[in-house]
Amino acid sequence: MKTITKIFLSLFTAMIAFGFTNAQTVATIAEFLAASESESVYYELTGTMSNITNTTYGNFDLTDGTGTVYVYGLTKTQQTENDKSFASIGLVEGDIITIRGTRASYKGDPQVGGPAYFVSKVEASVLSTPVAIDATEVQNTGFTANWEAVENAASYELNVWSKGEVEVGVVNPGFENGLDDWYAEAAYSLSTEKAHTGTQSLSFNATNTQDLRQTVNYVTPGKTITISYWYYLNESTTGNGTRLWCSWEGSADTSLQLEEYAKTKGAWTQATATTTVPEGATALKLEIRAYKNSNGYIDDIAVVQDGMGIKDTPVAGAPFVVTEGTSKEVTGLNSGTTYYYNVIAKADGYKDSDLSNTITVKTTGTDALFNNTLESIRFDGQTIYNPAKENLMVYNLTGALVASGNGNIDMGNEAAGIYIVRAQNATLKIVKQ
């Protein structure tokens, strides 16, 4: 008997030393946050994963109906140190899981430590897909969106949007907003020493091939597209300089991967390439490469398409969260404009439903554009889009010229009313609300 007791005590001591004790408490996250820190007491928590910040060690937020806590590492089985097994569990944001871990903290902020280990995944039911139905109370500046109720749904997310034509273009083309919207490898850095326009450019000093990238959306297959950028190569450059090395999302076409290097030294020089957007392309993967032993500056990158792309633009406040009923009054819209809506059902303990069908609804009132004898011209209530670069003149009803030009014309500062747009011998009438 003494021998058995000694063996048991030895095993128990080893388990404590290794951190494997059965001390655990099923708790809500609020109860866990209120608990005292302990390296030996394990809490069993169930919640929804979000904000996965590290896929190697398994760092994420866990949320239930009582609160949210940060999980500092999750392993597949109980371990004394993180064994980087998180990826093998196969979890994604939105999964509802049960874990066990200790009450820990970092710089005073509570977190789940231990490291925590995985217990199970709750296979939550998926809410049924809502059915969106026709809008009612359609008026000049709004309508009521409607849909059928979904069993067990606690709320609905209503998406409402319009479709508008947009010029294809580069965001932050001259780096005046730093590196916002750009991916730049290590050789690139912001500079105020030399700029083609504005106050900033992007300098580069490449010891090997270095990429500068941005995805440009809303390209239209069959349209002509031109990419250009300005570069300045220092006299000390001994490499091949820079060149475009672009491709397309949705298409394997590589017509903008240029063979010719841009390597003029000592002066700002523009490099350009023009091609046709291939079938299937949904976006341009814009890329400029700087090559080994090349140094200088890049500025004023442009992408211009012959025509327009189409962009979905959410209305102000969308998506809307509806917690009562199966309808939503949507206001503040433009008259005579086509809008679209669909809906998602949501509830704690359930996976979100799929998107419903999409309903099309047009507000009452006069179209923003009518009597259009120039098919390429479009007016969205704010801007006259002029993709063909026609010479336009805009008159009010007193005959006064209020705007002109061969590009897009911003009517935002003009008073509401009727305007006549003339181009060569053609005219069209627009109504600004």
pLDDT tens-digit series, residues 390-417: 778 888 766 678 888 878 888 888 888 7
For residue 309, give Cα distances in angstroms to 258, 338, 359, 421: 25, 17, 22, 22
Task: Look at residue 293 and give its three-state secondary structure.
Answer: coil
Task: Look at residue 18 and give its three-state secondary structure.
Answer: helix
CA-based nearest residue to 126, from 354, 355, 356? 354
**What is the per-residue pLDDT across 286-339, written as a single tens digit (0 to 9) for each?**
999 999 999 999 999 989 887 666 678 899 899 999 999 999 999 999 888 889
Residues 306 and 222: their CA atoms lie apart, in Å, by 10
Q: What is the mean pLDDT of residues 228-239?
A: 95
386 or 26: which carries more pLDDT confidence?
A: 26
**What is the per-residue pLDDT across 100-159, written as a single tens digit (0 to 9) for each?**
999 999 999 999 999 999 999 988 788 999 999 999 999 989 999 999 999 999 999 999
Q: What is the mean pLDDT of residues 52-59?
A: 94
Q: Is the pLDDT of residue 14 over 50?
A: no
CB 257 within 8 A of CB 244: yes
Residue 414, number of CB atoms within 10 A of its CB: 15
pLDDT at 12: 42
418 or 319: which carries more pLDDT confidence?
A: 319
pTM: 0.48
Q: Is the pLDDT of residue 83 over 90?
A: yes
Kindly state the percentage of the chain with pLDDT values over 90: 58
CA 257: distance to chain centroid? 26
Q: Is the pLDDT of residue 18 over 50?
A: no
